Structure 1
């Protein structure tokens, strides 16, 4: 089964890992300059580096749909620069998953593939997709919704070791993002993690720098640009989060149920 995922950030990558391990062929689409924060667990890094590996699974940048087909046949995940999802009509996947996590639908339609799954707020199961997978942390994280929308976006980051919004680093100004530190660095509150137009972006709490935008990204003041893990476990920088795994499991469940209905 060929699955095309719109988006290649950390949640989309968690989905891709689940699907690839379950035997699906996976193609992912993203923008030319991704704004992923947790880059060490994002297949979007293949756009910048040409290839990358997350938890033993390799992703490779494809320059065309034909190259993407070749990559997935070889057992790897293919990544295309295709923000509009134009490759869907040529690749004709059995499943399209919208995991852009834009908090709204950026153009995904139920007619794009035999099965279409939306991830998080902005999708309505039974209207613009066949199923929606809940991304809101809590009791229903990863739940498959067959009729209706996901829970609205709260705007509040998940709590990790007692920290929520204070563990997120935000751009201090408009301009070009210039990292000073690297993902996996142990940091202390007040330490400069990056600069934007000469303005320092300082660490908010002690911990491990789990995410940081890539160099050269154009940012706006207040844009999410980094993430600190107060648990101070460097190994967490290189594995998918519990949220990504739960959402990935929900997408896999939805695909299994949709295909079993057809077979039945």
Structure 2
């Protein structure tokens, strides 16, 4: 059983989806502390040929709160500004008509809880791309807090019956393969290879939100991108 665990991110880049697609069970780690200026409620899109941050506006955010304790602002003007930015910059994209309603639904129709909004967007993208991985919220799991983050992950993977744990390449400095093996778990890191696709201009801007990928590519084309990684 292959397990992946990541915090909920706002329409994350293609590497996140490669991880989701590669495992049998994907745990959305929503009961850890919110990180300011991370990817939980913001990402990058294409604006005038360059990367540009868009942010899901929050209220009463704090690094002392868990992700699932934080709410998105109920200010519709702030939400509409975010959606307008996306609409204005992608309305001529090939798949705009299919994708924009998905983004609007995620931002406006899932209540105000940040975790619920992001997890719903994950489920919607998975459904659109035909990803059948089981998605679980960590806050719904009966787990015990271990001494270190690595021990907590090992315990969580074992509780789910996992014998393989896949992590993004950024976790390579955090986790020790030998420690995982001592617990009967094979640890691998997904290293995303560069994917290219036609945007508006001739110059390609990489590593943007999956919104950008979805706007310019069919589900079949994206399915092929999901396989563009190496295991280390």
Structure 1 length as normaliser, TM-score?
0.36
More strand by percentage? 1
More helix by percentage? 2
Report which structure shows greater RCO (CA 8 Å, sep ≥6). Answer: 2
Structure 2 length as normaliser, TM-score?
0.40
